[in-house]
Amino acid sequence: MPAPKNTLKAALNAGDRSIGLWLTLCDGYSAEVAARAGFDWLVIDGEHAPNDLRSILRQLQVIEPFCPAIVRLPVAAPWMIKQVLDAGAQSLILPMINSAEEARAAVRATRYPPQGIRGVGHALGRASGFGAEADYAENANDEICVIVQIESRAALDALDEILAVDGVDAGFVGPADLAADMGYVRDVNAPEMQALVAQTLGRIRDSGKPAGIIDLPDQAIAAHFDSGAQFVAVGIDSTLLSAMLRRLSGKWKSHLGQVAALTRS
């Protein structure tokens, strides 16, 4: 059997709009809760969450029956790319891609020779069903989805060249890092940054590649779709949980305080 069809890549190529969720709790149980919630895709964050290969693997296993999973690695290192691909990932977000040269190197790390440098050890891994899919390597290259993150001045300067690299499937704006590099670290949502993000999403769309972004306020999410975004992460599991728990504790602490005040009176 060949490599499994990458349904996320197919949806991006078809121009479908979609929403996703960022996973940072590093746990298979919580990942399954998210996978059953109805999002079009989930991102397992290996850059700013304390994930390792085993926790990524477990999350891939529980997400797979419900929706596509994307793995964001901390860097576009070939050895990291090789490991998560062998573990079954087919879609990657690779951060801080600042030049066409870096984009080409990242793509090559996801491809078997002669198109790339990915080590041929698929028979040992989950990606090929532990060797059960004997023809896995024949079309594995075609089913990999490489999403490059645009999050610096250098990336903006080289954006057209980055997106023109064969094998780059989409561009994903990282608004926080981009704002910091542009001098707006204290005000990610400054009007100047909103305009720059909108312009960048439009540039990615106009290149013929799908544009993606993560953002949280509802009004920003709607604006991103209007600006040209095709796939948007609309929440983060840890921040959603944290906000909900703070509201819950605050509500009942307030209630107890009111009861205590009435009792004293």
The two three-digit tokens of residue 136, written as one number: 């896995």
**3-state SS string for 100-138:** HHHHHHHHHHCCCCCCCCCCCCHHHCHHHCCCCCCCHHH
Instruction: Determine how many CB atoms are found less than 10 A away from the CB of residue 45.
Output: 26
Whether 48 is catalytic is: yes
Supply φ then ψ for residue 170, to 5 degrees. -160, 160
Tell me the three state secondary structure of residue 221.
helix
The two three-digit tokens of residue 176, written as one number: 């926080």
Catalytic residue among 48, 122, 224, 255: 48
Q: Give the span between the Cα atoms of 148 and 93, in whole angstroms.
A: 6
Closest CA relative to residue 173, chosen from 207, 145, 215: 215
Catalytic positions are: 48
